[in-house]
Chain A
Amino acid sequence: MQPTQHNIAPEVLRAWMVKYICGVLGLDAATFSTSDRFDVYGLDSVEAVIMAGVMEEEFQVLVDPNQFFEYPSVDEFVNAFTSQASVG
């Protein structure tokens, strides 16, 4: 899957991911660390794939779920995803 052009600001995507993950896992966003790996919080591959789909709907972009496994924290993913936007 090719990255899609978008102009999502990193802080917007980061905030959305924190809200989404904390909502799914029932976590307090105040104690959530964006540098921790997803699996530290129990976010598994099924939920990562679902999150990719929800993100697509929310931001109208294509998201390859494999990116969540390649960049397995909010910070890593946000950095990778938003830097791709400038490519092409």
Chain B
Amino acid sequence: MTPQVSLIVISYEMKRELPRTLLSLSPRYQNCAAEDCEIIVVDNNSRERPDAASFAGLNANLQVLSCSQPSQSPARAINEGLVRARASLIGVWIDGARMASPGLIKTCLAASRLHERPVVATLNYQLGPNLQRISCEQGYNQATEDGLLDSIDWPKDGYRLFEISTPEMKGGPTGAMLESNALFLPRPLWEELGGYDEQFSEPGGSVVNPDTLIRAVALPGVQLIRVVGEGTFHQVHGGMSTSSQKSAINVVMEGNRTYMRLRGKPLTQVRQHGWIFDSRTGEVIR
């Protein structure tokens, strides 16, 4: 049976974080049937590669692949996942350290049905009292984070993740959007886009994710649909843009240089509002 949604989840050295992410994408947590959603984890050369058997208890339609040509950038791993995906709607989860809210998959599926050529973007959050590049400099760490998750008794009510996290977008749901960790496009749009651009070969892919969002919303006739009421929540794991202010600035500065070299113009955020789909009310603001 062909699933309705395929999720490509990229993993690299996420032994602590990936189990929570996959639990948050599991059928029970997402309240969907296992056969409706396939999860394709593509590991990008972790020293200890994730083992599908260890996630058998999730009862998910889950496979774990190893990228055939791993590199510092996740772009190749994503593209290999896109080739394997079977569903008509495909979500790319560039950072396997991000947990989901409980209605994310169903909501993105519903949002995708609002338009013939939808670009469905979810909003990014970071666990903790501030953006992690700031909170990590103030002592926030994995132990703090474990305590926070315990404090809301996660995964009992996954929506409580909003209580212990910080939105990445300062301008709110309609504000400037640099990237979306969980970006859902119909398969034909991924094909038109050519997947992720593997020229972004720097560690972490540099700004390959912002580039993908920019290119996606620039495709002819597409409709950007921002999903609110759901989100992805970053667990701290030493990522380059979340460990310190200095490293975050460096990532953006270097990323912009790469972007200018490849695209011939400065990196920008996506400022178009698009449509807003609120999972809590089902309301669509066009």
* A interface residues (Cβ-Cβ under 8 A, vs B): 24-26, 42, 44-47, 49-54, 57, 65-66
Complex: how many Å from CA A45 to CA B171?
A: 11
Q: A24-B268, A26-B271, A54-B266 are in contact. Are A46 and B252 (CB under 8 A)?
A: yes
- Across the interface, which residues of A come within 8 angstroms of B267, CB to CB? 50
Contact B271 A52 (CB under 8 A): no
The chain A residue with its CB closest to the CB of B254 is A53
Contact B266 A46 (CB under 8 A): no
4 shortest interchain CB distances as A-B pairs: A53-B256, A49-B252, A53-B253, A54-B266
- Across the interface, which residues of B come within 8 angstroms of A66, CB to CB? 249
Contact A47 B176 (CB under 8 A): yes
Tell me the smallest distance from the CB of A2 to a CB of chain B, in Å: 15
**Which residues in chain B, 263-286, are within 8 Å of chain A measured between CB atoms?**
266-269, 271
The one of B171, B249, B256, B271 in contact with A54, judged by C-beta atoms closer than 8 angstroms, is B256
Residue picked from B175, B253, B257, B260, most chain A C-beta under 10 Å? B253
Q: A26-B271, A47-B269 are in contact. Are A57 and B176 (CB under 8 A)?
A: no
Complex: how many Å from CA A53 to CA B175?
A: 22
Contact B268 A49 (CB under 8 A): no
**In the complex, B156 has a CB within 8 A of chain A:** no
Complex: how many Å from CA A53 to CA B256?
A: 7
- Across the interface, which residues of A come within 8 angstroms of B256, CB to CB? 49-50, 53-54
* B interface residues (Cβ-Cβ under 8 A, vs A): 170-171, 175-176, 178, 249, 252-253, 256-257, 260, 266-269, 271
Tell me the smallest distance from the CB of A63 to a CB of chain B, in Å: 9
Tell me the smallest distance from the CB of A74 to a CB of chain B, in Å: 17
A-B contact count (CB 8 A): 46
The chain B residue with its CB closest to the CB of A24 is B268
Contact A50 B271 (CB under 8 A): no
- 22 A-B residue pairs with Cβ-Cβ distance under 8 Å, sorted by A, are A26-B271, A42-B175, A42-B176, A44-B170, A44-B175, A44-B176, A44-B269, A45-B170, A46-B252, A47-B268, A49-B249, A49-B252, A50-B253, A50-B256, A50-B267, A52-B253, A53-B253, A53-B256, A53-B257, A53-B260, A54-B256, A65-B249
Complex: how many Å from CA A50 to CA B259?
A: 11
Tell me the smallest distance from the CB of A56 to a CB of chain B, in Å: 8
Contact B269 A54 (CB under 8 A): no
Complex: how many Å from CA A42 to CA B174?
A: 12
Contact A46 B269 (CB under 8 A): yes
The one of A42, A45, A65 in contact with B253, judged by C-beta atoms closer than 8 angstroms, is A65
Tell me the smallest distance from the CB of B260 to a CB of chain A, in Å: 7
The chain A residue with its CB closest to the CB of B207 is A50
- Across the interface, which residues of A come within 8 angstroms of B178, CB to CB? 46
